[in-house]
Amino acid sequence: MPIRKFAFAMKTLIVAAGLALVAGGPALALSKEETKTLEDVNAYFNSVKTMNGDFVQFGPEGSQSDGKFYIARPGKVRFYYNPPAKLDIIADGKSVSVKDRKMATQDIWPLSQTPLRFLLADNIDLQKDTNVTNVLVEDDLVTVTLTDQTTFNSGVLTLIFDAKTYELKQWTVRDAQGYETSVAVYNVVANGPTNPDLFKIDYLANARQGRN
């Protein structure tokens, strides 16, 4: 899988759970209301140990794809794209697998070397672990903008939360070239039961792939 495609997939997952990536640069001077809002967002996410739901993704050229996601913190996530998309992403607590079901290929990275380690950590601190550039608190929505500078890519992340429940509703990723991708999540269930089989990586697939 090309590195750009992997970068996009990783970025999508992180924002989906409401957590941006570690970034450098000066921190934004927040008001008391903005600081309290970020603290409430952190508290909500740290209270959620399992999560599942649906997502729909809109690409910069109008393309649309959707699928289901499952999270079990710490360390585990599954993002499955519905057909005709063929992407399947799994973290099992140690590694991250990015599988292309159409091409029957799979790439594996250590979880500790990917941005997913922040999403799947025991404790999430959005203000401490990210570079917040803007916080907008409205009656129904909270919008948080962050810069994203990682090994994989750079850009701007805009996260939209429900102002009362602090649940993530939507996000937009604008990459270094100015292309935007928007994703919305819905039918989200927090702290429900999970199936451990969802987070199993087929490590033997890589060996079979290498023999072909």
User: What pLDDT is recorded for position 22?
Assistant: 38
The CATH number of whichever domain residue 146 belongs to comes to 2.50.20.10
CA–CA dist 12, 180 (Å, integer):
12
Cα–chain center distance at 58: 15
User: Where would I find the H helices in 31-102?
Assistant: 32-47
- The total number of structural domains in the chain stands at 1
Give me the domain span that covers residue 171.
3-211
- Each residue's pLDDT tens digit, 143-194: 988 775 554 555 677 888 899 998 888 888 887 778 888 888 899 999 999 9
pLDDT band at residue 50, thresholds of 50, 70 and 90?
very high
Using DSSP bridges, classify how beta strands 154-162 and 168-175 pair: parallel, antiparallel or unpaired: antiparallel
More confident residue, 10 or 49: 49
Q: Which residues touch 127 (CB under 8 Å, ≥6 apart)?
A: 30, 35, 38, 39, 42
Tokens of 170: 């939507």
Fill in the amino acid letter for 102: K
Q: Which of 65, 52, 84 is nearest to 195 (CA)?
A: 52
User: What pLDDT is recorded for position 53?
Assistant: 94
Tell me the helix, strand and coil percentages in the chain, rounded to 5: 25, 40, 35
Tell me the average pLDDT across 77-96.
90
- Residues 102, 108, 111, 113: is their CA dihedral positive or negative? negative
CA–CA dist 45, 17 (Å, integer):
8
- Residues 21, 99, 56, 92: is their CA dihedral positive or negative? negative
- Each residue's pLDDT tens digit, 96-150: 998 888 888 888 988 877 766 766 878 877 777 567 788 888 999 999 887 755 5
Fill in the amino acid letter for 77: V
**Rounded to 5 degrees, what are φ and ψ at 73?**
-85, 145
Check: CB of residue 137 under 8 Å from CB of residue 163: yes
Q: Report whether pLDDT(4) > 60.
A: no
